[in-house]
Amino acid sequence: MSRVVIRPFETADLPAASRLLAERHARHRLKHPLLPAEYEDPKLALIEVTAAWESEGASGSVLVDGDEVTGYLLGAPKSSPLWGPNIWVEQAGQAVRVPEYMRDLYGAAATKWVADGRTAQYVLVPDDAELVDAWFRLGFGSQHAHAIRPVPAEPLAARPNLTVRRAGRGDIPVLAELDLVLPRHQALSPVFSAGELPTLEEALADWEESIDDREYATFVAEYNGQVIGSSIGCSIEKSSAHGGLAQPDNAGFLAYAAVLPESRGLGAGRALGEAVLNWAVEVGYTSVVTDWRVTNLLSSRAWPRLGFVQTFHRLHRLIGY
């Protein structure tokens, strides 16, 4: 690596970074063609890298090989206390021709991040085995999956013994109860999520306000006449976690699903996920996106079974111990 120089990212690096990002995205789309095509164009990739660079508190590094920039890394903090003293590398925050050099880019950028106290680190990595491996050898581990699947060609058939229907005002009490199921589950081992637990009163008030919102399709599953689970579909544009290169065109979003603990394993999770897939077909979406904590033993098994394929890996490193 004699001719290679690593130095801080500067505004003048934006055009070169956008070309690298466009290249990375074109490679990523060979594997996941449902990701948005437009960011293969460096002019559009430039908008994304510029946004990453202009995020408050952004900093990073570039790799210069001879007189050509062949890699970059950009991170910025999020203000939410939920993530600790954090730094985030988002979907447009990195690209490198030789994945091994990501370790050098991180080595340079992380000097400032850690000096600034940014020790809780999050990186959204495209599904590229060599790049993921380079991050693993920087002490990062897998935290969260982003995934996609095409809508089904034919509506998926209903399951015997289970009725799935649109939720109505009369379902508000059970919908509120089901809203607590995911955060309660994820507070436990082995997820140990720091996410906030809403109270039942807050969940009830939320549903009173939102049950008629036509931008969200809410389904409930009944077994022996009792509601045992719920799911919600909406446009991907409603999700702040799937922006830019991670936001497929014309996609629906499986935003939520939960089944009461005593009723799991009956097929209700599948039926509720399929209800969102069928709804996406009716709306005219091409694909459906979802995401999950990889340490959630339930969703990380259920959603791949429904045909979701991982597109991005959110990796995490906590420095200090």
Ligand X SMILES: CC(C)(COP(=O)(O)OP(=O)(O)OC[C@H]1O[C@@H](n2cnc3c(N)ncnc32)[C@H](O)[C@@H]1OP(=O)(O)O)[C@@H](O)C(=O)NCCC(=O)NCCS
Positions touching ligand X (CB under 6 A) are: 181-182, 185, 257-259, 264-270, 292, 296, 298-299, 301-302, 305
Contact 264, 298 (CB under 8 A): yes
Residue (21 or 268) nearer to ligand X, CB: 268
| Positive or negative torsion for Cα 6, 11, 17, 19 | negative
Q: Count of alpha carbons within 13 Å of 192, Cβ hemisphere only?
A: 3
Residue (21 or 221) nearer to ligand X, CB: 221
Least distance between ligand X and beta carbon 274 (Å): 9
Locate 51 and state its tokens: 């946004």
- Tell me the C-alpha to C-alpha distance, in Å, between residue 238 and each of 116, 207, 249, 251, 255: 32, 17, 13, 11, 9
User: Can you tell me whether residue 164 is helix, strand or coil?
Assistant: strand
Residue (98 or 180) nearer to ligand X, CB: 180
Least distance between ligand X and beta carbon 290 (Å): 7
Residue (19 or 238) nearer to ligand X, CB: 238
Determine the Cα–Cα distance for residues 269 and 142; give it in Å rounded to an integer: 24
Least distance between ligand X and beta carbon 264 (Å): 3
Residue whose tokens read 């394929």: 309
Least distance between ligand X and beta carbon 98 (Å): 35
Q: What residues have CB less than 8 Å from 208, skipping those under 6 apart?
A: 172
Least distance between ligand X and beta carbon 232 (Å): 10
Least distance between ligand X and beta carbon 299 (Å): 4
DSSP 40-67: GSHHHHHHHHHHHHHSTT-EEEEEEETT
Residue (98 or 156) nearer to ligand X, CB: 156
User: Can you tell me whether residue 285 is helix, strand or coil?
Assistant: coil
Residue at shortest CB range from ligand X: 269
Taking Cα atoms as reference points, which of 56, 154, 61, 141 lies closest to residue 104? 61
Least distance between ligand X and beta carbon 4 (Å): 41
Residue (69 or 268) nearer to ligand X, CB: 268
Residue (101 or 303) nearer to ligand X, CB: 303
